[in-house]
Amino acid sequence: MSSISKLTSFIRDSAKELGFAECGIAPASFLSADAPRLDQWLQLGQNAEMAYMENHHDKRLDPRLLVDGAKSVIVFLYNYFPGEWLKEDSSYLISSYAYGNDYHDVIRGKLTCIIENLRIRVPGISIRGFVDSAPVLERAWATRAGLGWIGKNSMLISRKKGSFFFLAELITNLELEYDQPFGGDYCGDCSRCMDACPTQAIVSPRTVDAGRCISYLTIENKREIPADFKGKYEQWIFGCDICQKVCPWNKYSTPNDEPGFSPSGDLKKMESQDWESLDQDSFNHLFRRSPIKRAKFAGLRRNIEFLK
């Protein structure tokens, strides 16, 4: 077995041992097919006030500008599909990705483990890990690494496992064995995600207008929520799962086995009145390790008040 084969096998085996659902590898290159779509999305202002999406444009399209001499992009999928949904009939709603601990912390530790072991095997390598934390077009790389296709809701979809996944990447100057890019689009003429979106944020297949998206409005958005959306997005106060829950491919989703993603007993018991009476100290205690802290207490209060 060649050194390239050995390193590739080590990475794939490590990913499996660390709980990643899938691992795909693609050669690092310029994302020529994705550049026009990104440019059009930005030109139309569909990134809303996420100005950072306009920054580091060249790096976002070419991983070789993020890691000197980069030859490989390794993409990992980490399952977060819940074993049980939090109550929906008597409580406000939060996206299932926020049920437990912050995924950045959970996954970053796993990537660090792989990086450290690779440095032992190949001293002096150039390698960086990314968990939704840098200008990387994650879904584009996932398709190039053979892990799935980008659905009409703009989510990466796996034919075997659905779409409830976090994506993470390692970019390195190591030459590895590569997977075949994923070919085809298996959404067909299905439009359930587009039809189900209560704010019509999916303006065309694979294109989401962030300024209309519930996830953006309740998390990234720092202003008041536009009055036009009053009464249009059910009880969501942090993120949204609608377009994924209606997707037929998620019938193949299986519950995650990451203990850190399990909701706490206190969160499971939350009723609407508990959310409404939440104060700063309770927020700090309940969500100290949660992605919900990203919205901050003021943002969460704004979201709740908008629905009342």
Which three-class secondary structure state does DSSP give residue 114? helix
Sign of the alpha-carbon dihedral angle for 126, 131, 135, 137? positive
132, 195, 257, 266: the active-site residue: 132
In DSSP terms, which residues pair with 208 in a beta bridge? Answer: 202
> What gap in Å lies between CA 146 and CA 168, rounded to an integer?
14
Helices (H), the chain: 3-17, 35-43, 57-61, 103-121, 138-144, 192-196, 214-215, 242-245, 265-268, 272-276, 280-286, 296-307
H or E stretch including 90?
A: none
Asked whether 197 and 234 are in contact (CB, 8 A), the reply is no
> What gap in Å lies between CA 285 and CA 308, rounded to an integer?
24
> What gap in Å lies between CA 142 and CA 74, rounded to an integer?
9
Residues 119-146 as b/e (b if ≥16 CB within 10 A, e otherwise) read eeeeeeeebbbbbeebbbbbbbbbbbbb
195 catalytic? Reply is no
Q: Which residues contact 29 (CB under 8 A, 6 or more apart)?
A: 62, 64
Catalytic annotation, residues = 132
